[in-house]
Amino acid sequence: MEEHSIFHNRYELEKLLGRGAYSEVWLAKDTKTNVQVALKIFAPATGLDDMGLDMFAREFSLVADVSNPNILKPLYFEFDRKPYLVLPYCKEGSVKSKIGQMKEDEAWKMIHDVAKGLKALHSHQPPIIHQDIKPDNIMVSSDGNYMITDFGVSTHLHSTLRKSVSANFTSAGTRAYMAPERFSRHKTPIMASDVYSLGATVYELLTGDAPFGEEGGLLQKSGADIPELDGNFSTELKDLIERCLSLNPWDRPTVDTLAETTPNTNGISIKKEETPIAPVSTKPKISAYVIAGLAIVGIALGVILGLFWG
């Protein structure tokens, strides 16, 4: 894979944007449309065997109908035994460039947008667990919205890729964003695992450091407390991130809650619970003065009647 080479007789590779454990991401020009795109090419050095290719095709057929403004939807192809994805190119890149520099209003906006995208994945039948929410996988659109990418690669596909890739590739290092349950005996990712990863991502974007360093939820599973979010941030944001990082999955908010209750770009709550207003009574009210007057009249009548009958 070299710059200016033509991939699949169509895409001119212009620049290597990133390299992960099992893939390379390239900025490319579609020579048929003259439009820049991003190509994510899996197992670029070795390719996959028939079983691996069949598994990729089945997995991505499950997400073909997922559509949401906060999801950067890929198109799936194969060439030279290499599965690859074609995605819209985001000139603004990912939020990785904002680590340690993100402001609170940006964080609220990102939480809301990412939660909307995750909600679409989690409500899919069968549900799709992203499994790898991190700064690299949250893109910024030209209009300032946040979109998640790199979804649909299941644990089975990771296992297939791990057996096939060249030894030149190293771990992507996403442990820092993995929930404690991902280090349990069963290691099964669940919806709440994505919420944890989102909380760890926001924490890092605000502070510059992942909450548990490179060890992620493994350190928390060993008894480490959730670190306090230092900085001039609101109590509401601090509490929300702490709940997302809860040790127990059932203590974390759902993506539905995050999508419905986090503020928009104007800092105004999208869904705010209002205190019910007591209904106004339609019955006529009797003032205290009237009641006091009636009481005095009653006393006076009692005195007069007492004198009369006495």
Are 173 and 23 in contact, with CB atoms under 8 Å apart?
Answer: no
Cα gap 40→38, rounded to integer Å: 7
Question: Is 8 exposed, middle or buried (CB count within 10 Å of its CB: 0-12, 13-18, 19+)?
Answer: middle
Closest CA to 220 of 252, 172, 176: 176
The SS3 of residue 205 is helix
Q: Could you tell me the CA-to-CA distances from 236 to 173, 208, 232 in Å, in that order? A: 30, 20, 12
Q: Provide the token pair at 300.
A: 């006076």
For residue 303, what are the contacts with CB-CB under 8 A and spacing of at least 6?
A: none
Which residue out of 30, 49, 113, 132 is catalytically annotated? 132
Task: Tabulate helix, strand, coil % of the chain (nearest 5).
Answer: 40, 15, 45
Q: Provide the token pair at 126.
A: 């069968």
Closest CA to 96 of 138, 130, 131, 146: 138
Closest CA to 216 of 228, 230, 201: 201
Are 112 and 217 in contact, with CB atoms under 8 Å apart?
Answer: no
Closest CA to 69 of 33, 21, 115, 108: 115
Residue 30 annotated in active site: no
For residue 19, what are the contacts with CB-CB under 8 A and spacing of at least 6?
A: 25, 169
The residues carrying an active-site annotation are 132
